[in-house]
Structure 1
Amino acid sequence: MRSANEPEADDATLVRLLRRFTVESDQFTRLFGDAHGLHRTDMNALVIVMEATRRGEPITPTELARALHLSGSATTTVLDRLVAAGHVRRDRDQTDRRRIELATSPTAMKAGERFFRPLGVELSRAWRDFSDDERAVIARFLTASIDATAQTRARLSQPRATAGDEAP
């Protein structure tokens, strides 16, 4: 049974809460971008490169373009800004010198950690009263929400068939 101070948990409420969280998260991330002169696309690129760096899986400019849904030239422009700002490095692959790999600079990692640490502290504080079982449900919920969003985005980004292209 839900207590009086707990929010509703129907689908519409959950969607609304996720949307509010997304907006708040975007606004918080915008503060970092503003402080470092980065556009939203620059921030998205930086996060993608940063995650690849953290996983130890180098990403190429072509892979970044695909992830951002940008042309090669638009991705080059984004990378030029990130490199000029000292956030990203273009490194040659040690085994295939023709291949360029992207990596987040140590200063960008430190700046990100410094900026986002207070949010991490506040989130940890907000989550403190959740049990391990509740956290497991939340993690499962968020993972399912991320997967559903990614699948819907992928489906909607596919070219639509024209009337003459539809199968009989």
Structure 2
Amino acid sequence: MSADNEVARAVRDLVLAGDRYRGAVGRSAGLGASGVSTLALLFLEGPATPGAIARHLGITTASATQLLDRLEAAGHVRRRPDPADRRSCLVELEPGGRRYVAATYDDFAERIGRVVAGRSGAEIAAVAGFLHAASNILAGPGAGAG
């Protein structure tokens, strides 16, 4: 197997492992992948409009509304009027949703920390640089084409 193919396989395996991890932590809270992604977005970026959430997830605004209805009913998020646009609302995490995401990120960081332990600063910088570049190229223009 060529080095390029080996790296591509390793990245694919990492992406699939991430999907499985997200699925497992979502199931533990009764959430699907879109629900987990929405809570993570709100945790990392702060309040967002339903339209911004729909764009982030690549779904319709109607689907985002249904998702937000479920997340709100479960006590993970709440909607409040958008002070910048009275026709819209902002979605924000409720304390329970914030605790769920924080615990998930703590667990994730602990697991990755086990892999990082004992590595040199140069190794960590090289791997982080590669992963950032791979993330950018996979999410960039033309993603999903071909």
Range into which the TM-score falls when normalised by the shorter chain: 0.7 to 0.9
**Partner Cα separation in structure 1 for residue 84 and residue 21 of structure 2:** 39
Count of paired positions: 146
Structure 2: gaps of 5 or more residues: none
| 2:34 corresponds to 1:41 | yes
**Offset of residue 127 of structure 1:** 0.3
- The aligned counterpart of 2:114 is 125
**Offset of residue 154 of structure 1:** 4.4
Please give the TM-score of this superposition, normalised by the length of structure 1.
0.76
Taking the TM superposition and a 5 Å limit, the aligned residue runs for 1:136-151 are: 136-151=125-140
**Partner Cα separation in structure 1 for residue 99 and residue 68 of structure 2:** 19
| 2:46 corresponds to 1:31 | no
Structure 1: gaps of 5 or more residues: 1-7, 158-168
**Offset of residue 44 of structure 1:** 2.2
- The aligned counterpart of 1:14 is 7
**Partner Cα separation in structure 2 for residue 85 and residue 9 of structure 1:** 48
Q: Matched residue of 2:24: which SS?
A: helix
Query: Which is richer in strand?
Result: 2
Of 81, 93, 116, the match for 1:92: 81
Of 66, 72, 75, the match for 2:64: 75
One-letter code aligned to 2:145: L
**Partner Cα separation in structure 2 for residue 81 and residue 52 of structure 1:** 21
Instruction: Give the percent of matched residue pairs that are identical in Structure 1 and Structure 2.
Output: 28
- Which consecutive segments of 4 or more residues in structure 1 shift more than 4 A? 152-155
The structure having more radius of gyration, on CA atoms, is 1
**Offset of residue 50 of structure 1:** 2.3
- The aligned counterpart of 2:45 is 52
- Aligned alpha-carbon RMSD (Å): 2.3
